Structure 1
């Protein structure tokens, strides 16, 4: 039923993921045509019980990352996939694999970048492209660009993906009650060659499933490739802010929220914070934001996220 997007026949359970490699599918033009899966909320979308939400943060204007990206933000890249709406794009981060030190093939992103949630199933043709548009060139400068300028390390196909059961069950078009569980891990393989993703890009971030209380975190940074206007999806940006709390529903975990002008396309991009060892670690990913693009929210990564990650590392990491 691979070609069928009907809800009744769309593969959706955790065990059903399938993503056969189609060599050469993601050519530069196909990548450039990919759209963002907007996860925007109107002001009235939030639950009435907002007791554990902090005041809305002041907007923070996203800054362009320095180039070349492989020197300044090597683990960050783009996640491309096909959905019933066409070619789509998110952001993702190369993360360390505890079972395979220095040789990780794991990528962290958002659940809504791999699975449609309650209304559908797994997306298709999922690939990760690290350091996309490494030199940060403009659309005009990329008109006749060589493929290696767009994708310096090529495309890494996901041969397995895992997201939370809560996202599969409750994820909605604007996040819904699945938003606090909107995270996913990909295991990828290079389109060509055998070198691991971490060895290829030269860096990966540890995932911290035990981040301190929000009040004790002085700064968090979100990285990604915003694609909805006024951005064009070609340039990596970042926002750094002191995080606050956002409650979607009394029954679900509180999310992190920061001020940030990044738009759709930055979804799935990693949120980094300094750990007690002084090193940056991934603590969340971009899930949702308002229509007005003044802030972003991401899930708190706790026990459920760690279980998915550990299973992925143990079962697929060696492949």
Structure 2
């Protein structure tokens, strides 16, 4: 795994990602999003033919679909510019910060004995976009929850956004490296994200959570461990970020970046220069390099031409996503 160490860079100009096109964001009241932006939206996962992924045989179809060639050819996801003015989630006055603890893999899992040259909970996401029928890739991480089956990623890695659909053929490959799947393939069975993303492609609500199907009878967090979750914390945090940016090693090897976030006036910002394909990778506070565990306090969402990355702020809305999806099996 490659690591970048840096200090967060505060930049006054506010723009938005894709593969490099930017647009200026206008200020809005941070505490008053549209009434429906924080509403959660969920859906079952489906195969490319529209059938639900609700059985071991359907999950096996997802795994067979993702041949080594399709994985190599999958496009690091580019996303469109958002509207100029977008509301953001903020900690309400007097809101209390909270956390869910991480979980180590089960003692019987090979991951419990694996070296930490790469983070075991972090992997690649692959999916098909219904709008064009093409295959894409993002990043994600396993997260601890009552189901022990959940993944956290970016909203645009589960839903196309305004005018689009839920993605299909979705799979998570923990600790992917150069085509290898050391802990197998975990197919999605259900998605959840915010209405602010689904209806408006609002990057301030660009967070998604995914329930995966057990693989050979074993749940994801039992196999890899799962990161914790934090919400309503200060926008200035020391974090370690993981993902598969296509501008480093063609996205075939996991990268990490250490630094301190800043308040970008809309979201969380840090200059890691993680490009396309790193979307959905976790931003971890209180990361423990000896265990490989910490608390997800953001997910990779966008990149600017100057190399600055941004994440949605994790407030009560993200905790709501977790509460609604965390026990789903």
TM-score (norm 1): 0.70
Residues 94, 198 of structure 1: 8 Å contact kept: yes
Give the conservation status (yes or no) of the 8 Å contact 2:273–2:303. no
Once the two structures are overlaid, the 10-residue window that deviates more, 238-247 or 121-130, is 238-247
Distance 2:278 2:115 in 1: 16
Aligned Cα root-mean-square deviation (Å): 2.7
Structure 1 position 313, deviation (Å): 1.4
1:284 to 298, 312, 320: 298
**SS, match of residue 162 in structure 2:** helix
Q: Structure 1's 88 and 108: CA in aligned 2 closer, same or farther, altered over 3 A?
A: same
Distance 2:86 2:162 in 1: 22
Per the TM alignment, residue 29 of structure 1 is displaced from its structure 2 partner at its CA by 1.4
2:118/2:175 contact within 8 Å kept: no
Residue deviations 1:167-202, cap 9 Å, x none?
11110xxxxxx1010000000014x4111111112x
| Equivalent in the alignment of 2:135 | 87
Which ranges in structure 1 are unaligned for 5 or more consecutive residues?
1-12, 53-67, 138-148, 172-177, 248-253
C-alpha distance 123-181 of structure 1, shift in aligned 2 (>3 A): same
Q: Which residue of 2 aligns with 1:132?
A: 176
Equivalent residues in 2 for 1:154-193, closer than 5 Å: 154-171=184-201, 178-190=202-214, 192-193=215-216
1:299 to 309, 312, 322: 312
C-alpha displacement of 1:14: 3.2
CA offsets, 1:183-232, max 9 Å, x none?
00000014x4111111112x211111232x224x2x222110012x4541
Aligned-pair distance for 1:110?
Answer: 0.3
Query: Any conservation in 2 of the 1:260–1:293 contact (CA below 8 Å)?
Result: no
Say whether the 8 Å CA contact 2:235–2:313 is kept in structure 1.
Answer: no
Q: Which residue number corresponds to residue 77 of structure 1?
A: 123
- Residue pair 2:259, 2:270 contacting (<8 A) in 1 also: yes
Alignment of 1:19-34 (within 5 A): 19=46, 20=53, 21=58, 22=61, 23-34=63-74
In the alignment, the residues of structure 2 paired with residue 72 and residue 88 of structure 1 have an alpha-carbon distance, to the nearest angstrom, of: 22
Q: Does 1:313 align with 2:326?
A: yes
Please say if 1:244 is aligned against 2:268: no
**4+ runs deviating over 6 angstroms:** none
Give how far 1:293 is off.
Answer: 5.4
Aligned residue pairs: how many? 246
The offset of 1:260, in angstroms, is 1.1
Q: 1:194 to 1:293 in 2, by over 3 A?
A: farther
Aligned equivalent of 1:62? none
The one of 207, 214, 224 equivalent to 2:235 is 214
Shift of 1:289: 1.1
Aligned-residue offset at 1:308: 1.2
For 1:200, the equivalent position in structure 2 comes to: 223
Shift of 1:30: 1.1
Residues 38-84 of structure 1: CA deviation (Å, up to 9, x unaligned): 23769xx86699xx9xxxxxxxxxxxxxxx77654111001110013
C-alpha change, 1:94 and 1:78, in structure 2 (3 Å) is same
Contact 1:245 1:255 in 2 (8 A): yes
Q: Is the 8 A contact 1:41 1:288 kept in 2?
A: no
Q: CA deviation at 1:115?
A: 0.3
2-side partners of 1:209 and 1:230: how far apart?
Answer: 30
Structure 1 position 24, deviation (Å): 1.0
Matched residue SS, 1:186: strand
